[in-house]
């Protein structure tokens, strides 16, 4: 798998999902944002876990939400 949406998974808390994945040998995780509203969440998950990385971006289906504030947040 190339990525997942850790903040969208509702089966269990993120810490539980990560622990279960680590237990079966997953070493790194890539959680992605798909719209400006979930960029802070994806980033927070990456900052909270050494083995979680985040990408900040906007899915083409959400392109109408992309604006100057989005660009500014991504650059910061």
Residue-wise pLDDT for 13-72, tens only, equals 999 999 999 999 999 999 999 999 999 999 999 999 999 999 999 999 999 999 999 999
Checking 40-47 for CB contacts under 8 A at 24+ apart, the result is 41/7, 42/6, 42/7, 45/6, 45/7, 45/14
* pTM of the predicted protein model: 0.86
Q: Quick check: 1 pLDDT over 80?
A: no
Between CA 26 and CA 65 the distance in angstroms is 33
Any domain includes 1: no
Q: Domain of 54?
A: 6-75
Any domain includes 47: yes
Query: Which pLDDT band holds residue 8 (cuts at 50, 70, 90)?
Result: confident
Any domain includes 10: yes
Please tell me the total count of domains within the chain. 1
Any domain includes 45: yes
- C-alpha to C-alpha distances, 1 to 48, 55, 68, 69, nearest whole angstrom: 22, 15, 32, 31
Length reported for the chain: 76
């Amino acid at each position: 798998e190339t990525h997942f949406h850790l903040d969208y998974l509702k089966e269990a808390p993120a810490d539980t999902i990560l622990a279960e994945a680590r237990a079966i040998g997953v070493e790194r995780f890539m959680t992605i944002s798909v719209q400006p509203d979930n960029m802070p969440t994806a980033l927070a998950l990456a900052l909270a876990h050494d083995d979680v990385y985040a990408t900040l971006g906007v899915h083409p289906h959400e392109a109408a939400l992309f604006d100057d504030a989005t660009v500014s947040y991504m650059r910061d």
